[in-house]
Homo-oligomer: A and B are copies of this chain.
Amino acid sequence: MTKSSRAENVYLSLRRAIIEQALRPGMKLPEDAIGEQFGVSRTSVRNALVRLSAEGLVEVRNNRGACVAEPTLEEALDIFSLRRCLEREVVDRLSRKITPAQFAALEGHVKLERDAVDTSGPLSIRLAGEFHILLAELTGSKPLTRYVSEIVSRCSLILALYSRPHSDQCGVDEHVEIIQALRQHNPERAMHAMEHHLEALEARAQISDQTEPDVRSILSTYAQAG
Task: Report which A residues bind B (CB closer than 8 A).
Answer: 5, 43, 46-47, 50-51, 54-56, 62, 75, 78-79, 81-82, 85-86, 89, 141-144, 146-147, 151, 154
**Residue numbers in B under 8 Å from A82 (CB-CB):** 89, 141, 143-144, 147
> CB distance A146 to B50 under 8 Å?
no
Contacts of A78 on B, CB cut-off 8 Å? 141-144
A75 nearest in chain B by CB position: B142
Q: Which residues of B contact A46 (CB under 8 A)?
A: 47
Interface on chain A toward B: helix, strand, loop, or mixed SS? helix
Taken together, the copies of this chain in the complex come to 2
Find chain B residues with CB under 8 A from A141 CB.
Answer: 78, 81-82
Chain B, Cβ-Cβ closest to A83: B143
A54 touches B56 (CB 8 A): no
CA–CA, A75 and B140, complex, Å: 10
Using CB atoms, name the residue of chain B closest to A144: B82
A143 with B79: CB separation less than 8 A: yes
The CA-CA distance from A151 to B55 in the complex, in Å, is 14
Question: Taking CB as reference atom, which chain B residue is nearest A62?
Answer: B5
Q: 30 A–B contact pairs at CB < 8 A?
A: A43-B43, A46-B47, A47-B47, A47-B50, A50-B50, A50-B51, A50-B54, A51-B51, A51-B54, A54-B55, A56-B143, A56-B146, A75-B142, A75-B143, A78-B141, A78-B142, A78-B143, A79-B143, A81-B141, A82-B89, A82-B141, A82-B143, A82-B144, A82-B147, A85-B85, A85-B86, A85-B89, A143-B151, A143-B154, A147-B147
> Quick one: closest B residue to A140, CB to CB?
B78
Known contacts A51-B54, A147-B147, then 10 further A-B pairs from the complex at CB < 8 Å, ordered by chain A residue: A43-B43, A47-B50, A50-B51, A51-B51, A56-B146, A75-B142, A75-B143, A82-B143, A85-B85, A85-B89
